[in-house]
Structure 1
Amino acid sequence: MADPGGLTERAFVRRVLIVLGLVALFLLAWQLRTLILMIFGAVVVATIFRSFADRIAQLTGCRPGIAIATSIVLILGLVLGLIALFGSHVAQQVHALRETLPAAWKIIEARLGDLGLGEQIKNFVQSIRAPGGSSFSAFGRTVLSIGSGIADVLVVLVAGIFLATQPRFYLIGAIKLVPPGKRELAGEAISESERALRLWLRGQLISMTVVGLLTGIGLWALGMPSAFTLGLLAGILEFIPFLGPVLSMVPAVLLALAVSPDLALWVLLLYFAVQQFEGYLLTPLVQQYAVDLPGVVLLFSLIAFGALFGTLGIILAAPLTVVMYVLVKRLYVIETLHTPTPIPGETKG
């Protein structure tokens, strides 16, 4: 039986089932969004291991299996070694920060109260803490929760090791989910995404190291307490574009305000100078062989992924943007619109 438009009952039912299947798939993906982000985090970890393994293989000429095993051992050994060397020192400074920051905030509230701003500050803090606050307040609570989820980090790390040791096995499995006529294109898109992600991670590692060192040394020179931990925090949060430097600056400024307004001003100037150096000198140098993403794209992706996926979305916003930027260019702009466009990292080693 056919309708006036020529659509048979069987074809209509088939289309309805396809639509329902797509809706069910979307709902399932939404319920599993945290798991999906963790899988992507494992891919990022595996990319780091693979990058070091490739460099080790180039320098030593050893087999890929030995290179990846060496890479994993070296990276994990380096992390554990740093924890062993500086772990107790960092723990002491973190403990000092936990005890000092509440007292510093009380001093700041008292000083603002002398200026007649105490009530406004209290209202602002209550609006952030309110469970039914605005979307901006919810986003602020999400940002302030960064640092939790150690168990998730361990799962991502272990999964990343599995992916790094058998990348071809998982790659072939993923490509088999694509229709046969598009598998070659899917493989090319995945390879281009991996190359761009490697370059971005390389540049980001350089930026994080330089920013952390400059911040820690500068705070130490200013006589700030917990300068090493604050510098380490600045380096780690540099992984998050735009928001990371602001988050790393807040505890330093609060501690400085508890000492004196003059010290707080010098701390602000230090963070401003480091960010200017990073933005106008370090980043252009790094991007000569890394991936240059439009700042507006990074900014709105940070807000979007934070609102959709919470803390994990904020942490992984930049690498997610790198991969999506490549896929959109490769699969949509080039393949669908037939418009030539450069792929990030395609001519960079």
Structure 2
Amino acid sequence: MEHARPERCSILLSEPGNPPRVRRHARIWGQGTIMTSLNNGSAPELASQGELAVTGTPRPARADIVGIAAWLVVGTVIIGLLYYGQDVLIPLAIAFLISFALGPLVRVLVRRGIPQVGAVSVVMLTVIALLLGLGLLIASQVSVLSAELPAYQSTIRAKIASLGDQMEGPGVLDGVFQTVATVQDQLTTALQGAPSGAADPLAVQVVGDGPSPFSTAVAWLTPALAPLATLGIVVVFVFLVLLDRGDLRDRLIRLLGGNLHRSTDALEEAGKRISKYLVMQLVVNVTYGIPMALGLWAIGVPGWILWGTLAAIMRFIPYVGPMLSAIFPLALAFAVDPGWQMVLMALALILFLELVSNNIVEPMLYGTSTGLSALSLIAAATFWTALWGPMGLILSTPLTVCLLVMGRNLPQLAFFDTLLGSTPALDLPTRIYQRLIANDPDEAYDIVSDAVRDIGLPAFYNETGLEVLRQASDDYHAQARVEHRLRVADGMDRLLDDLREDHPAPLAAPAAPRVACIGGKWQVDAISAEMLVHVLALDGIPAIQRPTGAVTARYVERLDLNGIDTVCIAYFSRDPDMAVRGFVRRLRRRWPDIRIVLALWSAPGEQAGPDRAEALGVDRIVISLSEAAQHLTLIDTETLQAAAPVAALPADGHAPEGTLNETARLEALARSAVLDGHAREDLDELAKRAADVFDVGLAVISVLDADAEYIVGQSMDLPGDRTDDPAALTWLPRLDGLGHHIVASEETLVVPDNNRDARFADHPTLRRWQSRFVVATPLRTTEGHVLGMLCLSDRAPRQIEDTELDLLDRIAAEAVAVMTKQEPVPAEPRKSAPAAPRSVLGQRIPD
């Protein structure tokens, strides 16, 4: 009986009582596979009947090669379609770009009550009228100049003759040129084989009847009709796109597919960026053309209106447009003025306007970010010019912006963002780490200096410095060679020395250090301890670093901790429990009263709680430099409220007059009469909306009175005391809530994880709410008084972006409008610090 051949079977081999750990594959029977599991952990061996490999080891991926080949084929087909379909695609591209620029005008008219068809017709007729007027102006100027040009012939001949006289006379290379000419004549005579005096044959020319008038007319009209036909197609396309913009957007979203949110964001961002680019480009060109025309008029160059208009139009062509527009006025100045004064003045005017436009006007209108790298701009200009000629050069920047936006929003096109974007391909920590590996600490320091200038030294240490060391720790055994480890250690030492020199601790009375920072095991641990010492010194806390060494009894005996109250031990290892227990046991044995803080830089927050700290015998576990510095700063404070920036309260609990303008603030709160509960339903609705939009468990709107904090809007019921009025407002003592922090600082408070923030780890209200994440923004009136806060809370740690904080400020402004019955005042958008230097070369693109 013939048995069917199994495709895959598994054999699990293990020692008794031990689960299998390493699974191996032995390929036999052609396509069949035997899976054996051995728990010895040894390297795979080759079986005699087939190939043996460890599961999970990457094999040569033929699918990747096929995928790359498929992408190359698709790219080739797309480029071919772009090239052979340019007669249709160029008008379409021009029409879409013009519709991006005219779209905002159409929307403004529609909001004023004009129907869509009427708004589009008005905008199109206005643009066509302006273009016709501009064309008539240019035509009149050209006709005037053509009539005046013959009068300048004598001046041109005199200047050319003068230049010829100056160029006459023996030159340096005249002998060389004469020798070359003589040799060339002799070679020509030898090759022809004819005597020098031979007569040339007579040329016979056949003269026909010549072309007919009809063919002459067709030859003249054909070049003129092609641009007119293209212009007509563009006008029709622009009208249709503006008329049915919504349906076209829906079809594009359907074609893009995938995530509806990403597709919508991509189209909105592309439309905004291109629309702003075209409008700003028009403004820049007009602000260049008007001074150009006025300057040429002052100099005396004829046709100054024509040259100013031409300069404004030609600047739409990147790179070569300004140079081409400068040729005509310079040539005319050469022809008009018998001397050279007019030419030099015109040249000086052009250079001055270029410098002002490129260095003042464009940065002011576009901003400092280009969006596209300089190399990608040049490459895109070359690519589109090769495909579509001069029109491709004009369209290269907007089309490349579209590709960049698609790459930023659509995962399947993310390679466009990498190829075209001005943001670095590597994040900031990886760039610094790579420079250190490449033994280039000077360039690493330049990158670090820019980052420190943007976010500050403590934030750089906390967000970037630790990540650099974390990457070095991860690569220590996996990829790094001995030379790489040495380069990273030496480079980090140089960086820290330079940063300490550039950012010294504030001068103060010398005090004995009370905090000692010790690296747990590796050099990276010691470097992190050195960073922590610098951060504490900037906060005015005297700290000292102790050398790292093997945790032995002899090392502890030689450790100098005299006068030290707190020891911070730093580890990058993800599982240092055994070493920590031994270290802590020896420290406790010699210094029983010392406070020990354990810094686990690579541990997640869930593994750094009080339970693990108690199991390891330490007082607290921190996972970031900011948390360590904050805890060590407040470690001797009796209450966290004493360290918070709140207004001092007297014994009766009322805020003193004049403190933080408290009196005016309380008067504004009284005028709103929000405590009578008249806005409770509306504020509850706003709180529920905020909780739903931000996907948090709780949203609270509260106001701060003289002695209590009242919750006037909430997304769910909260425990606490209630007033006797019908509105039944929940209230809590002033110092037990979060409102006094917001009122005192008048700034947004963001706490990604309460357990990791020493100020709020034991906050009574947050414990009652079972909160881990908190963000609170001020409720600010039109007069600038902060009545209270809009607070979001969740039971899981999370991060929040600046764009989300802007939306939270918008909801807070609506809440203030409900309280005060006034129009909401939108807050200014937050400006994030740039993540890395951006290119400022090439064609500028607005943010």
> Do the structures match in fold with TM over 0.5?
yes
CA-to-partner distance for each residue in 1:101-151, whole Å, 9 max, x for gaps? 99998777655544549xxxxxxxxxxxxxxxxxxxxxxxxxxx9xx9343
Specify the code of the residue in structure 1 equivalent to 2:140.
H
Counterpart of 1:231, as a letter, is: G
Residue aligning to 1:128: none
Residue of structure 2 equivalent to 1:211: 288
State how far apart, in whole Å, the 1-side matches of 2:104 and 2:259 are.
27
**SS of residue in 2 equivalent to 1:316:** helix
Question: d(CA) in 2 for partners of 1:267 and 1:235?
Answer: 16
**How many angstroms does 1:97 deviate by?**
8.5
CA distance in 1 between counterparts of 2:89 and 2:151 reads 38
User: Is the 1:195–1:345 Cα contact (8 Å) retained in structure 2?
Assistant: no
Hey, what does 2:303 align to over in structure 1? 226
Partners of 1:273 and 1:165 lie apart in 2 by 43
For the aligned residue pairs, the C-alpha RMSD in angstroms reads: 4.1
**Deviations 1:197-217 (CA, angstroms, capped at 9, x unpaired):** 011111111111111101111
Instruction: Tell me the distance in 1 between the aligned counterparts of 2:155 and 2:241.
Output: 45
More strand per residue:
2
Matched, 1:276 2:329: no
Partner of 2:128: 76
Describe how 1:2-13 pairs up with structure 2 within 5 A: none
Q: CA deviation at 1:67?
A: 2.9
1:312 aligns with 2:391: yes
Q: Which residue of 2 aligns with 1:141?
A: none
Deviations 1:144-171 (Å, cap 9, x if unpaired)?
A: x9xx934323322221121111112223
Contact 1:175 1:186 in 2 (8 A): yes
The yes-or-no answer on 1:89 pairing with 2:145 is no
Residues 204 and 26 of structure 1, relative CA distance in 2, 3 Å threshold? closer
1:185–1:94 Cα change, 3 Å: farther
1:171 aligns with 2:241: no
Distance (Å, rounded) in 1 between the aligned partners of 2:346 and 2:249: 47
Judging changes above 3 Å, is the alpha-carbon distance between structure 1 residues 28 and 308 closer, same or farther for their aligned structure 2 residues?
Answer: closer
Q: Of the two structures, which has the highest relative contact order with CA contacts closer than 8 Å and spacing of 6 or more?
A: 1
State the distance in 2 between where 1:205 and 1:153 align: 20
CA shift in 2, pair 1:90/1:322, >3 Å: farther
In 2, the alpha carbon distance for the partners of 1:230 and 1:251 equals 7
Q: CA deviation at 1:53?
A: 1.4
In structure 2, what is the Cα distance between the partners aligned to 1:308 and 1:288?
A: 31
What is aligned with 2:327? 250
Cα separation, partners in 2 of 1:102 and 1:310, compared to 1, 3 Å: farther
Whole-angstrom CA distance in 1 between matches of 2:72 and 2:120:
43
Residues 292 and 229 of structure 1: CA distance in aligned 2, closer, same or farther (over 3 Å)? farther
The equivalent residue for 2:263 is: 186
Aligned ranges 1:289-328 → 2 under 5 Å: 294-328=373-407
Cα distance in 2, alignment partners of residues 315 and 212 from structure 1: 18
Deviation at 1:226, TM superposition (A): 1.1
AA aligned to 2:318 is: P
Distance 1:35 1:93, change over 3 A: farther
Q: What secondary structure sits across from 1:149 in the alignment? A: helix
Q: For structure 2, which runs of at least 5 residues remain unmatched after alignment?
A: 1-29, 33-62, 169-222, 419-424, 428-800, 802-833, 836-844
Counterpart in 2 of 1:159?
Answer: 237
How far apart are the structure 1 equivalents of 2:371 and 2:328? 30
Q: Distance in 2 between matches of 1:21 and 1:334?
A: 17
Q: Which has the higher helix share?
A: 1
What is the distance in 2 between the residues matched to 1:54 and 1:291? 27
Equivalent residue in structure 2 for 1:35, among 85, 88, 96: 88
Larger Rg: 2
Q: Distance in 2 between matches of 1:290 and 1:83?
A: 35
Check the 8 A contact 1:101/1:255 in 2, yes or no: no
Shift of residue 48 of structure 1?
A: 2.2
Distance 1:242 1:100, change over 3 A: farther
- 1:49 is aligned to 102
2:255 is paired with a residue of what secondary structure?
coil
- Code of the residue aligned with 1:301 in structure 2: it is A
Q: Is contact 1:196–1:291 with CA below 8 Å preserved after alignment?
A: no
TM-score (norm 2): 0.32
Counterpart-to-counterpart distance in 2, 1:27 and 1:69: 36
Alignment length (residue pairs): 303
Give the partner amino acid of 1:170.
L
Which digits, 9 at most, give the CA deviation of each residue in 1:159-191, with x for residues without a partner? 11211111122233333333x435553333122
- Range with bigger deviation, 49-58 or 287-296: 287-296
Cα separation, 1, equivalents of 2:261 and 2:31 = 37
The code of the aligned residue for 2:239 comes to I
Percent sequence identity is 22
Aligned to 1:263: 342
Q: Distance in 1 between matches of 2:379 and 2:416?
A: 23
Counterpart residue type for residue 210 of structure 1: T
Contact 1:104 1:255 in 2 (8 A): no
For residue 258 of structure 2, give the secondary structure of its aligned residue in structure 1: helix
Distance of aligned partners of 1:239 and 1:171 in 2 relative to their CA distance in 1, 3 Å threshold: same
Query: Contact conserved, 1:46 with 1:163, CA < 8 A, in 2?
Result: yes
- Aligned-partner Cα distance in 2 for 1:150–1:102: 35
SS at structure 2 position matched to 1:74: helix
Q: 1:264 to 1:195 in 2, by over 3 A?
A: same
Distance 1:299 1:196, change over 3 A: same
Q: Tell me, what secondary structure is at the counterpart of 1:176?
A: helix
Question: Per the alignment, do residues 261 and 308 of structure 1 end up closer, same or farther by CA in structure 2, a change over 3 Å counting?
Answer: farther
Amino acid aligned to 1:43: F
Do residues 287 (structure 1) and 339 (structure 2) align? no
Q: Alignment partner of 1:177: what SS?
A: helix
Superposed displacement of residue 306, structure 1? 1.9
1:199-255 CA deviation, whole Å, 9 max, x = no partner?
A: 111111111111110111101111001111011000111212322111100111111
- Alpha-carbon distance in structure 2 between the residues aligned to 1:72 and 1:290: 32
In 2, Cα distance between the equivalents of 1:158 and 1:78? 17
Query: What displacement does 1:290 show?
Result: 9.9
Structure 1's unaligned 5+ residue stretches are: 118-144
Residue type at the aligned position of 2:353: V
How many angstroms does 1:262 deviate by?
A: 2.1
Q: Which amino acid aligns with 2:351?
A: F
Counterpart CA distance in 2 for 1:272 and 1:249 is 10
Structure 1 pair 214–326 and aligned structure 2 pair: CA distance change class (3 A): same
| Cα distance per residue 1:292-335 (max 9 Å; x no partner) | 65555434433332233211111212322332332233331699
Farther off after superposition, 246-255 or 98-107? 98-107
Is contact 1:49–1:71 with CA below 8 Å preserved after alignment? yes
Structure 1 length as normaliser, TM-score? 0.71
